[in-house]
Amino acid sequence: MARVFSGIQPSGELHIGNYLGAVRNWVALQDRYECLICIVDYHAITQAYEPELLAQRTFDMAVSLLAAGIDPERTTLFVQSHVPEHTELSWVCTTVTPVGELERMTQFKDKSQRQESVLAGILNYPVLQAADVLLYRADIVPVGEDQVQHLELMREIARKWNARFGEGFFPEPQPMLSQARRILGLDGGAKMSKSLGNTIALLDSPERIWELLRPAKTDPARVTRKDPGDPEKCNVYSLHQYFSPPATVREVAANCRGAAWGCLDCKRVLADNIAAEFAPIRARAAELKAQPERVAEILADGAARARVIARATMAAVRTAMGLMPSQGDRVRP
């Protein structure tokens, strides 16, 4: 069975953007692939963050993933820093990665422009990403379009290492592009992101969902209730396409074009449909939050399963690179 690796930042609870853009797909992939899902806390610390909140946000992300349908029996769910081989392989990968390739990365250019002093962690971020995937010799990586360049680099790192130390050892991971279009935030401008405050969280109450959705940006042509609108220019309509049944989506479009209802009516229907879809997820999350030791157990078990693969990979890598083997480290690629 092909192996799939996915990573997600420990940003606390999931929101609609990362649920639709990634997690809903991961839940479906569990039936067809061997899946590993890693909460990438070592990636998170390359940006400004609050150390006293990181562990809680990591826990909250684990709760959200489990509540959203990630099944720890079928998927290996774990925290990146619980498997130290990630950073070990990352170092190895830096030794075959040209700095020029890292400086060409669009995300590096964006992030470094916003900082006075650019940290090496930001430059090396895609190398750690490569190590995350190569450590498990994963075949497939589900990605959004903004990650395709990093995946190409990952493949190049695999090729370079293989050419020098062990032809064919690391498979070149293939991208699986997300079917979801880019999910815009409630401001209708930027991508939905917790740091921009334009999200609806999966665990928000129905009241909170309505509070957030009520002021959401719509087609500016609808100044008054009598002005017809164009649903294709409205992010609320895009969200209806994810959360409302097809008949409702058709009704929304017709009511918008014919000015048969106001935007608040339209948003009310959407708020109710989002709340209904997330109701079972909220209930599962509440159960998990009430037993944090169960969540910790799941993550420990996931890390133990991941480490079996990670240790074997690192043992083979060290041997192939000529490092002096320690006991039990005698596997050759």
- Check binding of 10 to ligand SF4 (CB under 6 A): no
Catalytic site positions: 111, 191, 194
Structure tokens belonging to residue 192: 């939905």
Minimum Å gap between C-beta 184 and ligand SF4 is 12
263-282: contacts with ligand SF4 (CB under 6 A):
263, 266-267
Binding range to ligand SF4, per CB under 6 A, among 55-63, 132-140, 191-199, 262-270? 262-270
Structure tokens belonging to residue 122: 């930001």
How many H-runs (helices) and E-runs (strands) does the chain carry? Answer: 14, 5
Q: Applying CB under 6 A, which of residues 162, 198, 218, 273 lies at the interface with ligand SF4?
A: 218
d(C-alpha 319, C-alpha 145), whole Å? 36
Q: Where are the beta strands (DSSP E) in 144-233?
A: 174-177
Q: How many CA atoms lie within 13 A of 322 on its CB side?
A: 2
Nearer to ligand SF4, 143 or 234 (CB): 234
- Check binding of 213 to ligand SF4 (CB under 6 A): no
d(C-alpha 307, C-alpha 82), whole Å? 9
Q: Applying CB under 6 A, which of residues 123, 127, 157, 236 lies at the interface with ligand SF4?
A: 236
- Check binding of 234 to ligand SF4 (CB under 6 A): yes
Q: Applying CB under 6 A, which of residues 210, 231, 275, 317 lies at the interface with ligand SF4?
A: 231
- Check binding of 219 to ligand SF4 (CB under 6 A): yes
Residue 32, classed as helix, strand or coil, is coil
Nearer to ligand SF4, 128 or 266 (CB): 266
* Residue of 177, 111, 182, 171 whose CA lies nearest to 147: 177
Nearer to ligand SF4, 133 or 236 (CB): 236
Residue 156 CB partners (closer than 8 Å, separation 6+): 101
- Check binding of 222 to ligand SF4 (CB under 6 A): yes
Pattern 23-62, binding to ligand SF4, x per CB under 6 A? ----------------------------------------
Nearer to ligand SF4, 21 or 229 (CB): 229
- Check binding of 147 to ligand SF4 (CB under 6 A): no
Are the C-beta atoms of 134 and 170 separated by less than 8 Å?
yes
Nearer to ligand SF4, 155 or 267 (CB): 267
Are the C-beta atoms of 93 and 130 separated by less than 8 Å?
yes
Kindly report each contact of residues 297-300 with a partner whose C-beta sits within 8 Å and lies 24 or more positions away, as own/partner.
298/62, 298/66, 298/72, 298/77, 299/62, 299/77, 299/78, 299/79, 299/82, 300/82
- Name the residues that contact ligand SF4, by CB under 6 A: 218-219, 222, 229, 231, 234, 236-237, 252, 256, 263, 266-267
